[in-house]
Chain A
Amino acid sequence: MTSLDTRVVVVGGGVTGVAVLRDLALRGVDAVLVERSDLGTGTSGRWHGLLHSGGRYAVRDEESARECIEENFVLRRIAPHTIEDLGGLFVLLPQDDPAYAEKFVVGCKAAGIPVEELTPAEARRREPLLVDGFEAAFAVPDGGIDSWALMRSMVADARARGARVLPRHPVVGFERDGDRLAAVRVRDLAGGEDVVIGCEWVVNAAGAWAGQVGALAEVPIHMIPGKGVMVVMASRHVRGVVNACRKPADGDIVVPQHEVAILGTTSVQVEDPDDVTVDPADVDRMIDMCAQMVPSLTHGRALRAFAGSRPLYKPPQQEGGSPPVNEDTQDTRAVSRTFTVLDHAERDGVANMFSIVGGKLTTCRQMAEALVDRLGARMGLTVPCTTAEVPLPGAEHGVHTLAAPLATVERDRAYGTLICECELVTAAQVREAVADGVVELEDLRRRLRLGYGPCQAAFCGWRAAAAVCERQLDAPEGRDAAPRPTKDTSPAADLSTGLARFLQERWRGQLTTIWGDQARQALLNHAIYRGIFDLAAEEPDEAAAWRTRGLGTRSDGPVEDPKSESLERAAGQREDPASKVGRELIGDVEGRAPSAGAESG
């Protein structure tokens, strides 16, 4: 067992926890963030990528709408490199209620959302594939945002200011001292040992899992995980975000994101936030409903489908309520999308714990500010919040554009080093990620978008496994052309299981989209990995693998002691990661040019 000390432990490595960590770091408060898996593996990584204008809440949830538009403008300022400035339309179809459109415009204006009714010709110019005969179209400043890039930037900024981050360190318990939590006990999944983090304050930012974390501290928090199903189409179909101008319902939004379009979404209460199964009927409904706005979706290629759990919060009666879940349909849309800070001292008699629940990615910074303001008041902190003014590392690159990665590959003539052609990931990017300690292919996916494109890892999976393997062999003394013995005597995980986990995750998303071209793609992928490469079918259960082995292939590396390495990372002694963040999205990473030269002989 090892121990650490800090002032604040933040539980939860989603966008909320990360934003809280950065806020604390900017105010000079020492903090440690702990996360049960990799950063952004919960709701923050399982959503449609919409930077809300607030238009979706303009009619029924003015508070959320106002928060969204405020933060929309803040994020454009502090994190433009994570944002694609798509613009959005709300489209009124003939079958929709014209009265809703009137309320929509009124609501937008009341919330401060810039809204403009377009002529049909102008709307068609913006969105050529829009259905014929729509009644009206309203433009709002919706955008697209890459949540992993945003999280990486915030983490880099926080780390550069001394904050520590411990991924794959789930909370296993709290140590009490009277009415206080004296320490947080986490399990280092890589090293297998517990780490006890002594602290003055605990922030529960576990989102849809906040109830589970609360339970460990004997604090009741009633979360209502609201499952949303999304379908990924193989091309964008739309130029900007397209919303149906009606009361939010299933299948009313199309968000273009990188090379794909994401159709959303359902909103159904589930028991377990880890329940991210997808019903094929939901997939069909998403496509059919969204095709009412964009008919080309009907015959488009559906790549995969996935689900995420909204962190909806149900306040007890005494806290004042929001409308309940619809008992008949379990529809959670009536639950407000705003957020709530819970001070457990007044509420539950735990003197030094706060929770932050509800909210959404667009408002993560504002949520963090509200929480740290409350926490700071109790801590006696006088430093004001500056997260809305201080740009994140990477902001200097400006707004992300779809063509940027290709332009970079063209500029560097890096075609020969592409690991993933669909998402334009180069060998140098993978090498750099591995050098940063990322060796689990699933983590590479979140960092580099590896495997997201139409081929769903047919070619990038084994290439990335090779790049990880080569990099591990090369470490630490650099490339060595001489043959090396590779007889593997380490008992640790091997690359093929990391590859199998990566493929399984891609496959899970495709299970409900096996028809047409995607069926052929799936069979080709089988033919490659099972047919040609004879990858073993006995891959371990993913969940078990995370829990028992954690870092997976990391411990297979020739030099690194996983535990000491993770603590070293925790202590923030590595090279300033902020120097790299932000360039990953456009593929402009250090060391690429010389590496590319070496690759091409």
Chain B
Amino acid sequence: MRADVVVVGAGPAGLAAAVRLAEGGRQVRLVARGQGFTHWGAGAVDVLGRVGGERVERPLDAIDRLGDGHPYRLVGPDAVRDGLDWFRDFAAAAGLDQVGDPERNRGQVTALGTLRPTCLVPAPAGGELRGRVAVLGFAGFRGFSAALCARGLGQAGYEATAGSVELPPWSHRLYFTAVELARAFDDGDFRARLAPALAKAAAGAEVAVVPAVLGLTGGHEPWADLERGAGLPLVEAALAPPSVPGLRLFAAWRRRLDELRVAWQLGFPAIGVDREGDRVIAVRCEGASRPVVIHCDEVVLATGGVAGHGIEANRDGSLTEVVAGLPVAGFADRTDFVAGRFLAAHPIGEAGVRVDGELRPTGDDGAPVLGNLRCVGGLLAGHDPTMEGSREGVALATTARVALTLSMTDQTDKAGPRR
């Protein structure tokens, strides 16, 4: 098997890398252990929500306050803008309009009634909360509590009321998840029957907050349709995983990969590489029935950190990068954080691979250890995607840098052999 570029990983970074490189004319193959963070997040694009635990208003201005090895310091704010602009266009073309401004954080309402700091949110989560806010849950759906959300919003200073809306009869009455409920919202009849009850429950409110389950396969259209039917703005609150907005986005990524004829396989973990000098010449994968070797010119590693299985944390405190055995920076001793607080940063969140300005992995001396492998997204050392709220921003910015670097490599290749 052969490809120009093998992308390993199907989270926001791997998907964006595969699409961008394919758009740039590369023949790309994407392999991944499984689904990535699209399914586990809030469905938004977080750029930089906090620095040192403090909330940040203008994320790009705060990059200077980050440590030297932080991915944003390596790629710079323009790569962040490039990444977000590109993503916004991609999402809009897929019918998933994004709302927000890369220069300024906004609050995305959550099921706890908090307003999480983020930059871009899908349009159904983008409405402004003002005046009286009706928080409405759906009877029998345990993924969202209107009472809890309204209490949180009340503490944040909003005038919020909690209410419940009975669902029209549908197939999953005894036990259903957010995903099954979202599928029900794809059905226009279901929405038409629900809309009057929603309007009634929201009577007197200027805006309604509802769980983020308003449709799965129809992009944002089910939300827009229900909003028209209910006669007031509806704002989707972020829920615990699995993320329905993330699933909508994942579907869009898949469609785009297919359009670009990118071969992609999930359940197909990369387990090693073949090297020739300082270059990777092939990626070894664990296929369903036998190992598969994919020969390639370039590799983009987007396997995520410890959370994404890109790095294995061992009992002895050591960390192993699972595909290429790259050096990992992180905690060395489990005794370091015995006194930690759950909601504060933990060293393992920052564990990752150190890279140079071209995102090539480096050794202790700072020199790249591999010339044609680049790391993007959560795998990178020096940032804590969850605690600082930077996951999608880092994914898109580092992907933008790789796209730029490889497009320049293209030109170099045309000018003459580089190796």
Contact = CB atoms under 8 A, between A and B. Distances in A.
Contacts of B110: 532-534
A503 interface: yes
B163 A483 contact: yes
19 contacts: A488-B154, A496-B112, A496-B114, A500-B342, A503-B343, A514-B334, A514-B346, A515-B315, A516-B312, A520-B306, A520-B309, A524-B241, A524-B307, A526-B386, A531-B386, A532-B241, A533-B111, A599-B139, A601-B167
A537 B161 CA distance: 26
A134 interface: no
B316 to A, nearest CB: 8
Nearest to B308: A520
A443 to B, nearest CB: 18
Nearest to A526: B386
Contacts of A334: none
A465 interface: yes
A466 B337 contact: no
Nearest to B315: A515
Given A417-B142, A486-B154, 17 more contacts: A280-B334, A413-B174, A463-B142, A488-B155, A496-B112, A503-B342, A504-B343, A506-B342, A507-B341, A523-B348, A529-B342, A530-B386, A531-B385, A532-B42, A534-B117, A536-B114, A537-B343
Interface in A470-484: 470, 473, 481-484
B176 A416 contact: yes
Interface residues of A, number: 67
Contacts of A535: 112, 114, 343
Interface in A507-527: 507, 511-512, 514-516, 519-520, 522-527
A354 interface: no
Interface in A336-387: none
Nearest to B110: A533
Contacts of A525: 342
Contacts of B337: 511, 514
B105 to A, nearest CB: 12
A459 interface: yes
Contacts of B348: 514, 519, 522-523
A539 interface: yes
Contacts of A507: 340-342
Name the residue in A488, A522, A534, A599 with the highest tally of chain B Cβ atoms < 10 Å from its Cβ: A534
Given A462-B240, A535-B114, A487 B342 contact: no
A530 B240 contact: no
B302 to A, nearest CB: 17
A485 interface: yes
Interface of A: 277-281, 284, 287, 413, 415-419, 427, 458-459, 462-463, 465-467, 469-470, 473, 481-488, 494-496, 500, 503-504, 506-507, 511-512, 514-516, 519-520, 522-537, 539, 599-601
Interface in B207-261: 238-241
A517 to B, nearest CB: 10
A347 B116 CA distance: 62
Contacts of A488: 151, 154-155
Contacts of B315: 284, 287, 515-516
Given A473-B147, A516-B313, A537 B341 contact: yes
Q: Sorted from nearest, which 5 A-B pairs have the closest CB atoms? A: A466-B145, A507-B342, A483-B163, A523-B307, A534-B116
Contact of A537 (B166, B305, B344): B344
A496 B152 CA distance: 8
B338 A512 contact: yes
B206 to A, nearest CB: 14
B18 interface: no
Nearest to B203: A483
B343 A485 contact: no
A234 to B, nearest CB: 14
Interface of B: 40-42, 46, 49, 53, 110-112, 114-117, 134, 139-140, 142, 145, 147-148, 150-152, 154-155, 159-164, 166-167, 173-176, 201, 238-241, 305-307, 309, 312-315, 317, 334-335, 337-344, 346, 348-349, 385-387, 389, 391
B291 to A, nearest CB: 23
A381 B245 CA distance: 70
Contacts of B112: 462, 465, 496, 533-535
B41 A494 contact: no
B305 to A, nearest CB: 8
A528 B240 contact: yes
Given A495-B151, A514-B313, A515-B315, A601 B139 contact: yes
Label chain A's interface by main secondary structure: helix
Contact of B387 (A473, A500, A526): A526
A239 B254 CA distance: 46
Nearest to B341: A504
A495 B335 contact: no
Name the residue in A427, A514, A525, A539 with the highest tally of chain B Cβ atoms < 10 Å from its Cβ: A514
Contact of B159 (A413, A473, A487): A487
Contacts of A533: 110-112, 114, 116, 238, 240
Contact of A482 (B41, B114, B152, B163): B163
A529 B147 contact: no
Contacts of A599: 139-140, 142
A413 B241 CA distance: 24
A514 B201 CA distance: 45
Contacts of A512: 334, 338
A483 B150 CA distance: 10
B314 to A, nearest CB: 6
Given A278-B338, A469-B151, A515 B314 contact: yes
A270 B256 CA distance: 62
Contacts of B391: 531
A462 B140 contact: no
Nearest to B46: A531
B343 A500 contact: yes
Nearest to B140: A601
A413 to B, nearest CB: 6
Nearest to A415: B175
Given A522-B346, A527-B307, A600-B173, A469 B114 contact: no
Nearest to A506: B342
Name the residue in B166, B173, B386 with the highest tally of chain A Cβ atoms < 10 Å from its Cβ: B386
B160 A487 contact: yes
Contact of B162 (A413, A486, A494, A500): A486
A540 to B, nearest CB: 11
B140 A530 contact: no
A465 to B, nearest CB: 6
A532 B385 CA distance: 12
B313 A519 contact: yes
A523 B342 contact: no
Contacts of B46: 531
Contacts of B338: 277-280, 511-512
A141 B153 CA distance: 55
Contact of B40 (A416, A483, A524, A537): A524
A534 B115 contact: yes
B136 to A, nearest CB: 8
A526 B159 contact: no
A470 B145 CA distance: 8
A417 B142 CA distance: 7
Contact of A530 (B148, B167, B305, B387): B387
A196 B31 CA distance: 70
Nearest to A488: B154
A514 to B, nearest CB: 6
B384 to A, nearest CB: 9
B147 A470 contact: yes
A483 B159 CA distance: 12
B346 A526 contact: yes
B334 A470 contact: no
Contacts of B312: 516
Nearest to B143: A463
Nearest to A413: B174
Contact of A519 (B40, B41, B49, B306): B306
